[in-house]
Copies of this chain bind each other. A is one copy, B any other.
Amino acid sequence: MTATRQRLAPAERRQQIIDAARELYSDRPYDAVSTSELADAAGVARGLINHYFGDKRELFLAVMRESVLMPERPLTGLDGKSVEERARLTMDWILDAATTYGQAWVAASGAANLHGSSDIQAIVDEADDRAARLVLDALGLPDDARLRARLRPTAALTKSVCREWLQRGTFTRVEALDLLTASILLFVQKDLSPVKEDRP
Contact = CB atoms under 8 A, between A and B. Distances in A.
A143 interface: no
A173 to B, nearest CB: 12
A188 to B, nearest CB: 11
Contacts of A29: 57, 113, 115-117, 119-120
Contacts of A120: 29, 110-112
Chain A contact residues, majority secondary structure: helix
Contacts of A25: 114-116
B179 A109 contact: no
Interface stretch (A1-9, A77-85, A90-98, A157-165): A157-165
A153 B161 contact: yes
A186 B178 CA distance: 10
A115 B119 CA distance: 15
Contacts of A197: 174
B124 A149 contact: no
Contacts of A157: 153-154, 156-157, 160, 183
A48 interface: no
10 contacts: A25-B114, A26-B116, A29-B119, A63-B114, A64-B114, A109-B109, A109-B156, A111-B112, A111-B120, A111-B124
Interface of A: 25-32, 56-57, 63-64, 67-68, 104, 107-117, 119-121, 123-125, 146, 149-150, 152-157, 159-161, 163-164, 168, 170-171, 174-175, 178-179, 182-183, 186-187, 190, 197
